[in-house]
Structure 1
């Protein structure tokens, strides 16, 4: 999802299904309830709450707090990546591929594969794989450096630029609709909390690339 604090996307590929790794809690169950954050809080009835309840039955003394946060972040990310009605999916693009196209569009100039990897917080191997497909589909073109033929410079084709400019407003409108389950104040609070978490993770795990 487009970061509200301007941080680069991690370039995570979509998963094939909401299996054990999708919720970050060892598996999912279709039904179940969890507990809220206080005595008057309503019970949580999402899939992660069910998983947490199962773990509490197996290990009653286990602190499942981290699982409840990370599991829900992972589950939301997996569901958003899999959403068939998302404009990116309808256009045949993964989020990671669109992030590469977006980096070329928003910077406004050619980038090397290494620069693209840094812009999208991805590994060099992942960028190479994605660029191959984007080049084959005519959205990106490469130019060999005149002084060092080992260096490639990437830029959007006209078709690539038109695709980004056409799909970005549609994708943002889709994401706004997804977030409409939260009030504006809740969205701001969630954005701020995620920014704090992201800054902390980038400080400790900044070397990890997708």
Structure 2
């Protein structure tokens, strides 16, 4: 497995593992009396127990957090990508189109690299494919021939606007299992973690 999950499980099983904080009485934080802890009701818990049996001396706590983030991301992406597959798009291609749509103006390939956190070679390849499909178009800079400006075509804009509502509806449905205050708390915690990770290590460009 990649460094993202600490090498604790196979790459195609994104349920990494660990423990949530344990109060002094030995019960899990946030567990209601008479109910099984949430950590015992998902696939990550199985992996946690297995690792604890193999290495009882190790603190497997990080696995519960990182493993669940990875597992949720994998499951969410499988469903979210369905509209993209129907449109013949990959996730990175849609991210590129989305960057052009949400910024609302032309972007250079270099700016698209930063917006999508992709490599220059990957952006070049995706732009070529999207240009051939008539979803984006490029124009040269009048003052510098080395610079290109990329914008959405009408077809590209319509495609993004058609897919986005379907994705948001799916995400709303998924998150409806959490109370609004829970969603806000989760968003805040993830924002804090992401901000620290981006500030310290950045991300691997695809």
* TM-score normalised by length of structure 1: 0.78
Determine if contact 1:86/1:174 at 8 Å carries over to the other structure.
no
What pairs up with 1:105-124 in 2 under 5 angstroms? 105-124=101-120
CA distance in 1, matches of 2:63, 2:19: 13
Higher relative contact order structure (alpha carbons within 8 Å, sequence separation ≥ 6): 1
CA distance in 2, matches of 1:153, 1:84: 29
Q: Which runs of 5+ in 1 are unaligned?
A: 1-19
Whose Rg is larger? 2
Determine if contact 1:117/1:124 at 8 Å carries over to the other structure.
yes
| Aligned equivalent of 2:9 | 26
* TM-score normalised by length of structure 2: 0.79
Change (3 A) 1:92 1:145: same
Deviates more, 1:108-117 or 1:75-84: 75-84
Residue 80 (structure 2) pairs with residue 97 (structure 1): no
Q: Which runs of 5+ in 2 are unaligned?
A: none
How many residue pairs were aligned? 187
Which string of whole-angstrom CA distances, capped at 9 and with x for unpartnered residues, describes residues 183-207 of structure 1? Answer: 2111111100000001101110126
| Aligned equivalent of 1:204 | 200
Residue 76 (structure 2) pairs with residue 80 (structure 1): yes
What is the aligned-residue RMSD (CA, Å)? 2.5
| Aligned equivalent of 1:63 | 59
Which string of whole-angstrom CA distances, capped at 9 and with x for unpartnered residues, describes residues 126-169 of structure 1? Answer: 22222222222211111122333222211101100111122212
